[in-house]
Amino acid sequence: MGSFFLKALGSLFTPMNILFVVLGTGSGIVVGALPGLTATMAIALLVPFTFAMSPIHGLVLLGGIYCGAIFGGSFSAILINTPGTPSAIATTFDGYAMAKKGDSYKAIVTATIASVIGGLIGVLFLLFLSPPLSKASLKFGPPEFFWLTVFGLTIIATLASKSILKGLIGGAFGLLVSSIGIAPIEGSVRFTFGSVSLQGGVGLIPALIGIFCIPEVIGMIEKKDTHYSVIPYRTQKKVVMNVVLKLLKRPVLIIRSAIIGTIVGIIPGAGGNIASMVSYNEAVRASRYPEKFGRGIIDGVAASEASNNAEVSGSMIPLLTLGIPGAPPAAVLLGALLLQGMRPGVDLFTIHGHVTYTFILSLILSNILMLPMGIYSGKLVSRMITNIPIPFLAPFILFLTFIGSYSIERNMFDVYTMIFFGLVGYIGRKAGFGPGPIVLGLILGNICEQGLVQSILMGKASGSLLGMFFTRPISIILIILTVVSAGWPVIRKYTGGRKKYAKRR
């Protein structure tokens, strides 16, 4: 490893490679900031172009885009309450609340610093712990995936800020909607209302854009006072220094979120969206002031962003060592590797070791570059967005939602889906149902169903259905975590946090 490492260092710091890292990270941030344009889409669009490049140039460019896009998603999450990428869902909870208070720049700086630190921790994991961690991911079978999603659903207690009952209803509704389309086992065509477009299921990203963005736009229109400022932008001094000092006082928060992000990234099928929500939930549970979450606190932004950027490297651990992508963008990266004639596995760390380590080190550079890019562009974008008049901003955001939902599959049906879920989100908001639980159900539904049905089949084949669900070691750990996570609000209510919890409800 040592000789490859030194060679890779020398290879990375050539003008062309640095240029590709800068280009990749910069364009990734732009793509990520535009709602609906995902890292997967950006990488997929560029993979064909990298064929003509050298393997190092191509991979360095794509790695930069991946890192930049996941970070860029926080911009629109903070400024217009619309996650630019699904990974930034949890960033909206506190990021937008901060923006509404005039602290949009502070939120972006927090997101930037947390993203950089989280990203760097993730790359260190990728560099040093790839082989042992990737072996653990192989032990995840259908029962473990089922329990993982059940554990994920306990986050509803955190997401449902006003009523747990309504949060549970939202989550169940999301799970039901996720079952639309062809069943994973036996192939029944379910709840498609006769539409061929629904056979592939409800598009997650159009639904996500609609449910988060449309209610927000209608909320802007609802305000009678349409003067020329959506949210007040406050010029503050020493924002960067203040945020750094605050984050330095919370090292556990960032490190814990980065570790969660890396672990979730390693598990195939669980993406940055799950990573950021799990981290957010853990941040709330571990906090001494849980009642402040959701009202605009830097801890919430930092937890989400540190986690989703660490997930980038986490998703590459099983990709590079086993050829199993941990997340959709990593799956596209696998295509880029194969296009260059590089097969994941031992060869990548021996025959192509020079290329692989240059790629990994370029992720470090990309993460470091996000710091100046985020801090300087954050101020500019904050000022720009917050000073656009509502009569122009509201229809323009609608235009972006149209572009975002259409661009994924170049399909008008996705635009109709986005509008439908937007209206569901708006009416739901009026009736006291938050968007978070619905989206969580939508994300986890497919994995949950597949895990449940496959586990039942496995249990029947082995002759012990209960044994399949309740005796496997990782399942037991996940069940314990689920019980603790679901019971935590109750425990908190009756031990010390009674007043705080009551306030939060």
491 with 185: CB under 8 angstroms? no
Which of 107, 267, 415, 478: binder of another protein (CB under 8 A)? 415
Residue 160 interacting with another protein (CB under 8 A): no
Site string for another protein, 375-414 (x = CB under 8 A): --------------xxxx-xxx-xx--xx--xx--x-x--
- Smallest distance from the beta carbon of 87 to another protein, in angstroms? 20
**Rounded Cα gap, residues 207 and 213, in angstroms:** 10
Contact range with another protein by CB under 8 A, out of 115-123, 186-194, 229-237, 337-345: 186-194
- Smallest distance from the beta carbon of 288 to another protein, in angstroms? 29
Phi then psi for 180, rounded to 5 degrees?
A: -65, 135
**Rounded Cα gap, residues 244 and 239, in angstroms:** 9
Residue 47 interacting with another protein (CB under 8 A): no
Distance of alpha carbon 29 from the chain centroid:
14
How many residues belong to the site for another protein (CB under 8 A)?
A: 54
Site string for another protein, 298-317 (x = CB under 8 A): --------------------
**Rounded Cα gap, residues 185 and 187, in angstroms:** 5
Assign 3-class secondary structure to 132-187. HHHHHHCCCCHHHHHHHHHHHHCCHHHHCCCCHHHHHHHHHHHHHHHCCEECCCCC
**Rounded Cα gap, residues 89 and 93, in angstroms:** 8
Residue 486 interacting with another protein (CB under 8 A): no
445 with 175: CB under 8 angstroms? yes
Distance of alpha carbon 227 from the chain centroid:
34
Q: Which residue lies nearer to another protein by CB, 172 or 371?
A: 172
Site string for another protein, 198-237 (x = CB under 8 A): ----------------x---x--xx-x-x-----------
Q: Which residue lies nearer to another protein by CB, 60 or 419?
A: 419
- Smallest distance from the beta carbon of 429 to another protein, in angstroms? 10
For residues 107, 109, 114, 115, the Cα torsion angle rounded to the nearest 10 degrees is 100
Residue 255 interacting with another protein (CB under 8 A): no
Residue 503 interacting with another protein (CB under 8 A): no
For residues 479, 481, 486, 491, the Cα torsion angle rounded to the nearest 10 degrees is 130
Which of 66, 280, 433, 488: binder of another protein (CB under 8 A)? 433
212, HSE (Cβ side, Cα atoms, 13 Å): 32
What is the contact surface with another protein in residues (CB under 8 A)?
37, 45, 165-166, 168-169, 172-173, 175-176, 179, 183, 185-188, 190-191, 214, 218, 221-222, 224, 226, 389-392, 394-396, 398-399, 402-403, 406-407, 410, 412, 415-416, 419, 423, 427, 430-433, 448-449, 452-453, 456-457
